[in-house]
Amino acid sequence: MKIAMIGTGYVGLVSGVCFSDFGHDVICVDKDPKKIAQLEKGIAPIYEPGLEELMAKNVGAGRLSFTLDLAKAVDGADAVFIAVGTPTRRGDGHADLTFVMAAAEEIASALTGYAVVVTKSTVPVGTNRQVKRVIETANPALEFDVASNPEFLREGAAIDDFMRPDRVVVGVESERAAEVMNDIYRPLYLREFPIMSTDLESAEMIKYAANAFLATKITFINEIAALCERVGADVKMVSKGMGLDGRIGSKFLHAGPGYGGSCFPKDTQALARMGQDHSSPMQLTETVIKVNDEVKRRMVDKVVDICGGSVNGKVIAVLGVTFKPNTDDMRDSPSLTIVPSLVGNGAKVRVVDPQGKREGEALLPGVSWFEDAYEAAQDADAVVLLTEWNEFRALDLDRMAKRMTSPVMADLRNIYNPKDAERAGFTAYVSIGREGYGV
């Protein structure tokens, strides 16, 4: 199959590379000359484990290429995927479809024969029909179908998610479009991964419903964690006891500083807005958004409390600022609430993150960047564990405590045992939903 992938952001690039690894001929298109030049040199503009190696393999095999020329890419394509950004529109919570519709118009002008135009971007219900109208208006004689094919990729594990998915959802309206999509995903079908065919609207809704539900699980356990702190329960034990129930499951029940990233904040806001627009309020989702914001602000209070009620003039080492490990994505990361608040209250913040500096330098002004956690902790008044990168999971706590002026720790990912921290010499320790000491 010949595939054109419009957009080389996170979803477009990972999807294009993986489709080429299926054996398809894939051309990835972007309007940014610097990004295309970078990709042609084999350098990915995002950090995703294994992505550059898989790119190199398929470019070398002649199945994957990159271009600025959309018309060239879609010429003779069996399927054209739209994988451009749909950021939250400022002021009203709607998903901004400007890039999607602009891509649809360009595709309509460039296509010369039948193709399936597939929306890979996360879009509100009804968008695929809108894409169809845009293409029909721009090129009334064109023979084409539209399809909805939402992505379910976890940053940091995206390649494995694409190659071994829980499910593939395809929304189509014609047998011809279904056949094209079946051919594209045949390698997964042959390995018996679930491929679910739906109507367009259901496919669009599945994406939002899934993300909102996962965001709800995270937010629920964070609320339970706050109550655990008041009643003396241990949220890690509570989470384990809940997760052993097959109806609930253990995933996304890890208490922390709130969700962030490219999907959950944007998609929960879009779903809430859709509910308002259609007079069917998403009250649970609206509450999840509110509580998640409160959780992030509550983390600031934890750090201030462990510093004796004020961070003014204190040196604080923050370990991890990306929204999760194994990604360089800073979008809506809890760090963007917590770190600026500490800086604004007079703290001297030192940041360590294996991949966060590229985006973080612009997003976190007023901080100092360090390569090493122990170096950042030298003469520090507090250390804050904010993102659970592997290298922060096995710190020598004794070595760290000895370097600090005031050895106190805010473990906002519940990585360590309070007793281990105390034995290592930390005079105060707080975490999420568990008893601490010294505060």
Paired tokens of 398: 């004794």
> Can 18 be counted among the known catalytic residues?
no
Which is catalytic among the residues 18, 28, 228, 263? 263
- Under 8 Å CB-to-CB from 39, ≥6 apart: which residues? 8, 13, 28, 30, 45, 55, 66
d(CA 421, CA 146): 56
- Which residue, 163, 94, 164, is CA-closest to 122? 94
Neighbours of 20 (CB within 10 A): 25
Q: What is the DSSP annotation of 265-311?
A: HHHHHHHHHHHHHTT---HHHHHHHHHHHHHHHHHHHHHHHHTTS--
Residue 279 region, left (φ>0) first, then alpha (ψ -120 to 50), else beta?
Answer: left
- Which residue, 87, 105, 107, is CA-closest to 96? 87
d(CA 323, CA 331): 7
Compute and round to an integer the Cα radius of gyration of the chain.
Answer: 24
The residues that are catalytic are 263
